Every structure is written in C-alpha cells, then in structure tokens.
Amino acid sequence: MASLITCPHCGVRPKEEFAIRGDASLVRPAPTASDEAWHDYVYVRANPRGRTLEHWQHVGGCRRFLVVERDTFTHEVHSVTDGAAFARENGK
Amino acid sequence: MIRDYYNRNALDEKLRGAPRPPGANHLAIGHRQAVSMVLAVAGEEDSVEKLLSSATEFTGRFSAPGEWLVVSENDTPEGLQRRLDALCSDKAHIVDQSEARVLFRISGPSMRRILAKGIGLDLDPNVFATGASANALCGHIAVNLARTGEDAFELLTPRSFAESLFDNLMTMGREYDLTAAFAA
C-alpha cells in the first residue's frame, strides 16, 4: 500500500492518518434505475490490478475527502485531489 | 456546569502533588486559556484568513481549509468569542472550544527528537517554520501542532484524549528527562 500521501491541504503525510473510503469512480444511478443497477452500485466491486481511483479521508489531519489515484501493483501514487474539486471537475 | 470544566483541568489527577522543578525539556500544561474554532462561510475563506492573520491579540492555527483554531492567553472564553464576533461575525461561525481542548506547551533542545517519535511531520525549521501549524496524529491521537519557537511547540488535543496524550508524551520524552507541570 502507498505509505506516503501528499494531502493538497496538509502536505506529505503517512498513510496512518487516512481512512480509505472505497472506489471513487462509481457513478450513482438515477433514483428510478433498476434494482440490478442499484445492486451493482451498492455491492459489486472490482479488484483491479493497476491504476485505481479511491476516496481517502484525511481523518488525522484536515478531515477532507480526497481522491487518490494509485497503482495497486507498484504502490505508486499518481495524483491526490480534494474531493470537492474532483467533483467539480467531473461535473458530479 | 460548564464553568466546572473550565476551572478543572483534565490533567489535575495526573499532575497531583508537588511539581518537580522544570528541566531543560519541559512540558507545561496550559491553564485557563481561551480556545475557539473559526469556520469560514463558503466563499469567505480567504478574507477570514486575512482577518485572523491581521489580529495581534491571538494566533489562528490552521486546522483544515476554511477552519482555524484560535488560542488566546489573555481572554476569557466569552471575551474571545466577542472579539472574534466583532472581527468576522458575518463571514465565519465561531464555536467556543475552551472546555473541550487541552493545551500542551512543550519546549527544550530535544523537542524535535521527542516529537519525531509520535508525529509523522517534517519538523525541520525550513519546512515547518515558527508560526506554522497543522493537524496531525501523535501516536493515534489527533492533535493540532503549532510551532511557537525554534524549540517550542504547542499541542491542542480534545479533552477526553488529554490523559492518554500526556502519557504518550512523557514516554516519548523519558529518554530526554522530560518534566511536566502546570504552566505558571
């Protein structure tokens, strides 16, 4: 696991200060979507090898949600973005 | 009842008895300082930061984007609340934290080595200069760390964690003969 995360607000911090809150690439289905779509959204997760987008919360620091792009194979961290900024950029 | 919390320090039990004379590395527990949390209204973060940094009577410590902890030695909690209300009432929410936080003031030549045992922050003066502040974990306890001098730091921690953090700090500082007492 990536052991150092560069928080955009707090700087370089050890991973112990963060809590991983799951996949950040999921898109919430429409309220009227089928049960299958909701089931997939709530329960079904991939276990990718390579680059992933994840929500990390900096609980031991600024307590903001961050979107961390990291590689599950090489442990490399490619980018860390504030969750609100990420949502704005992606029009969520 | 609130008054009782303010007048009774969370570490009264720990620091019972005659105080040892302070050594070179010393931990002083703050008594009766006013602490407030300032939360900027969305969009007003920059102007609140400017107002806080322009004030001379107290210091604002960075906690999160748009959120600061303000510590004042000379004000009562009500006094600090009034002062902050006057400064930025329409731009920020102000929440009194005087009973909720305990202030640890540590200083001495070995401070950086002592803190390095529990805090994953680079405390080199070029990176974390005097006046800098940040939220961090000390062991497993969330603290707000501020540098008040070359070898002087202040930690603010939630009241219910104060005894554990005190034990942690004394263990971290045992090698360097860390002493502890209430601040004069």
Domain of B48: which CATH number? 3.30.70.920
Residues B110 and B64 both lie in one domain: no
The whole-angstrom separation of Cα B163 and Cα B102 is 10
CA distance B79 to A91: 44
Is the ipTM here above 0.90? no
CA distance A72 to A49: 6
Q: Which two tokens stand for residue A4?
A: 């150092």
| Closest residue in chain A to residue B141, using alpha carbons only | A60
Nearest to A63 by CA among B123, B70, B98, B65: B65
Q: Is residue B8 part of a domain?
A: no
Residue B7 domain-assigned (yes or no): no
Q: Is A83 on the interface with B (CB under 8 A)?
A: no
What are the residue ranges of helices labelled H in chain B? Answer: 2-7, 45-54, 77-88, 111-116, 162-173
B10 is a domain residue: no
Q: How confident is the model at residue B16, as a pLDDT?
A: 82
Q: Return d(Cα A34, Cα A32) in angstroms, integer.
A: 7
Shared domain for B110 and B84, answered yes or no, is no
pLDDT at B75: 87
Enclosing domain of residue B55: 34-96
Assess whether B141 and B56 both reside in one domain: no
Q: Please tell me whether residues B81 and B144 are part of one structural domain.
A: no
Q: Say if the Cβ atoms of A17 and B134 lie within 8 Å.
A: no
Q: What's residue A92's pLDDT? A: 62
Residue of B64, B121, B122 with shortest CB distance to A9 = B64
Q: Which residues of B touch A11 (CB under 8 A)?
A: 121, 134
Residues B64 and B141 in one domain: no
Domain count, chain A: 1
Could you tell me if B27 and B85 lie in one domain?
A: no
Residues B80 and B42 in one domain: yes
Task: Say whether both B27 and B111 belong to one domain.
Answer: yes
Query: CA–CA separation, B104 vs B109, rounded Å?
Result: 17
What is the rounded average pLDDT for all residues in chain B? Answer: 89
Kindly state whether residues B108 and B170 are assigned to the same domain: yes
- Report the CATH number at residue B158: 3.30.1360.120
A85 touches chain B (CB under 8 A): no
Residue B16 lies in a domain: no
pLDDT tens for chain A, residues 1 to 92: 558 999 999 999 999 999 999 999 998 999 999 999 999 999 999 899 999 999 999 999 999 999 999 999 998 999 999 999 998 888 76
- B17 falls within a domain: no
**How many independent structural domains does chain B possess?**
2
For position B2, what pLDDT does the model report? 55
Taking only the tens place, the pLDDT of each residue in A54-71 is 999 999 999 999 999 999
Do B60 and B124 belong together in one domain? no
B15 falls within a domain: no
**What CATH number is attached to the domain comprising A36?**
3.30.2270.10
Domain hosting A80: range is 4-89
Which residues of chain B are at the A interface, by a Cβ-Cβ cutoff of 8 Å? 63-65, 67, 120-122, 134-137, 140, 142
Q: In chain B, which stretches have pLDDT less than 50?
A: none
Q: Is B9 inside any structural domain? A: no
Distance CA B87, CA B84 (A): 5
Residue B153 domain-assigned? yes
pLDDT at B114: 95
